Amino acid sequence: MGCNGPRMLSLKQPYASATVSSSKNWKNIENRTRVLFPLSDEHKDHRMKPYQRPQAIKINIVNFAKQLDNDLLRSEVFVRKVCSDAIEALYHQKNIQRVNGGIKELIVVGDLHGSYASLMKILDLLGNKIKTKSCHFVFNGDYVDRGDGQLSVLMLLAWLRSKYPDHVFLNRGNHEHETMNRKEYHHGRNFVEELEERAYDHLYEECFMSLFNAMPLATIWQDRVFIVHGGPPRPHELRQWESVDTIDRMNGDILQHMIFADMLWSDPTKEASITGWRKGKRGKGGLFSERYTKEFLKAVDCQLLVRSHQCVRGGCDWVHGRKVCTIFSAENYVGLENRGAVIVVKNCGDELKCNCVQF
């Protein structure tokens, strides 16, 4: 069964937006030291020493997030080290990573698109659960493009993934791709443009493409919840589901593999004329019906599909008989005045209890 009736919670107290440092300051940093990637032992021992103090690891996550945005990202060595550690934590995971164990609570965060203020709200509200290791966090892709704090969002999540490898997980979204990161947008800038403003554009191919390639495509939580950025693949690819983990995601363009393109780009539909899966208007992926959702969940032996990829006004939207939940976490996305949300799922034995927490 799916969730037993979603409940909508709201963060009532206003939260001051996180300060995003002016990009003009990044170009004026003198004597920037460029190092090879991955870091050599010399760089780790010498230049990383200021960032390996015990108090830098034990401090409150929200306080560290502010320190990262205001100070730590000035160091190219720090950025490279965070990328290197995250890649090491990610690349050995299967394309469809499975998260099991005794923890009974799951929090899924949807598209952030460089909204550091939205991420700060989420961590302020629920971040203590990471520190106490009382739940699993799955961030479901689209960390960059359009927002003002793209590098801050990506580096904080990469840092959390390496520091809490058994409790924080990252899925890849369709925007973790070079085509999207160089695309011209009517609202906001792309990821490469932000890197250029910070004088970090040389790091895109040296570090960030490898980081994106290392991210798994989906997560199965407790053998019950399937979490993916877009949706299920078309029927032909679904029939070959058993071979999905044999595809090499670290080399080449993952969109050359139709099954991956479908998983990153597909959307649910309520159109009565669509009874299965068919191509959509995005150019990649397709549209899947309620009947196809049931077929997919049966094929992967799960009860609920949590996905992102679409901006929904309330931050959370349920379709297909509450078998599919869309989560979008970037509030006021490109001026649309939408709310952000996350979904909290609790494994209560025979049933799943789900709350959508808005902010």
Q: Looking at the annotation, which residues are catalytic?
A: 175
Q: Which amino acid is at 357?
A: V
Q: Count of CB atoms within 10 A of residue 52's CB? A: 11
3-state helix, strand, coil in the chain (%, to 5): 40, 20, 45
For residues 193 and 210, give the distance between their C-alpha atoms in angstroms, rounded to a whole number: 18
Instruction: Tell me the β-bridge partners of 225.
Output: 221, 304
Q: Count of CB atoms within 10 A of residue 143's CB? A: 31
For residues 208 and 201, give the distance between their C-alpha atoms in angstroms, rounded to a whole number: 10
The bridge status of strand 286-288 relative to strand 218-221 is unpaired
Choose among 316, 314, 294: nearest CA to 305.
294
Segment (H or E) for 121: helix 116-126
Q: Count of CB atoms within 10 A of residue 152's CB? A: 26
| Alpha carbon of residue 252 to chain centroid | 21
Is the torsion defined by CA of 117, 74, 26, 204 positive or negative? negative
SS3 category, 175? coil
Segment (H or E) for 327: strand 324-327
Contacts of 157 (CB under 8 A, 6+ apart): 119, 139, 143, 168, 170
For residues 108 and 98, give the distance between their C-alpha atoms in angstroms, rounded to a whole number: 15
263 φ/ψ angles, rounded to the nearest 5 degrees: -65, -30
Contact 124, 62 (CB under 8 A): yes
